[in-house]
Amino acid sequence: MTRLLLVRHGQSMANLDDIFAGHLDVELSPLGHEQAERTAEFIAENYKVDKVYASDLKRAYKTAEHIAAKFGLEVIPVKQMREISAGEWDGETFDALWEKYPEEFGMWKNDIGNAGCTGGETTKEMACRIASALEKIAQENEGKTVVVATHATPIRVTQCAWQGISFDGMKDIDWVSNASVTEGVYENGVFKMVKSGQDAHLAELKTELPANV
């Protein structure tokens, strides 16, 4: 059995400005570093981690560095664990997306499992690469506990996959908060959810995506 801890990155500068980042490579905010450090402490207190992986985008990679430091590990970058490729939406504020792409962004808000970013990936396309990456990581780490620092949409599709929820049902799954920890296990070729979006340890540092996303 492999235990996987999916960590959403800490607050990024894009989160701070309500910007759809996608593959835009933005830094963590100062608060994001604080969140990452508190999550690193939470993980160190509750798990024995053998490896740390991360999306190669800075906001996830630097979140992972906080965690890896607690265990004397290096962060292994995995490009496949990036956020959805947002195409024309990259760098736009959420308010601007509602104005410029009301139909497409409305679909994202109301039926995300069947949505896609204009000029970018669909949620289903992203879900395929995320599932492939996680299965490879899980198979390579039998009997170990691994951290994978990634992004909000990859975690949302993974929560559905691990719980047997269809793409049609994805709209009913909430976004996880920044620097939260979602735990799953992989055994005999099957993933199962254990705990979703653990964030009580963040207390007053907790931040979430706005309601219009």
- Positions annotated as catalytic residues are 9, 83
- Report residue 189's pLDDT band, with 50, 70 and 90 as the boundaries: very high
Supply the mean pLDDT for the chain. 97
Q: In what helix (H) or strand (E) does residue 195 lie, and over which residues does it extend?
A: strand 190-198
Q: What is the 3-state secondary structure (H, E, C) of 174-192?
A: CCCCCCCEEEEEEECCEEE
Whole-number percent of the chain with pLDDT over 70: 100
- Average pLDDT of the residues in 5-18: 97
Tell me what pLDDT residue 70 has: 98
CA angle (180 as vertex; 19, 96 as ends), nearest 5:
15
Q: How many other CB atoms are found less than 10 A from the CB of residue 99?
A: 10
- Average pLDDT of the residues in 10-39: 97
- Report residue 89's pLDDT band, with 50, 70 and 90 as the boundaries: very high
Tell me what pLDDT residue 8 has: 98
Tell me what pLDDT residue 185 has: 98
Tell me what pLDDT residue 45 has: 98
Token digits of residue 55: 């999306």
Tell me what pLDDT residue 41 has: 98
Q: With the CA atoms of 43, 47, 53 and 54 taken in that order, what torsion angle do they form, in degrees rounded to the nearest 10?
A: -20
Q: Which three-class secondary structure state does DSSP give residue 125?
A: helix
> Which of these, 60, 54, 52, 53, lies nearest to 22 by C-alpha position?
60
Tell me what pLDDT residue 109 has: 96
> Which of these, 207, 182, 209, 208, lies nearest to 42 by C-alpha position?
182
The rounded distance, in Å, linking the Cα atoms of 7 and 21 is: 17
User: Tens digit of pLDDT for each residue in 140-162?
Assistant: 999 999 999 999 999 999 999 99
- Average pLDDT of the residues in 7-27: 97
pTM beyond 0.95: the answer is yes
Tell me what pLDDT residue 64 has: 98
The rounded distance, in Å, linking the Cα atoms of 72 and 84 is: 30
- Report residue 107's pLDDT band, with 50, 70 and 90 as the boundaries: very high
Tell me what pLDDT residue 179 has: 98
CATH of domain 2-205: 3.40.50.1240
- Average pLDDT of the residues in 116-144: 98
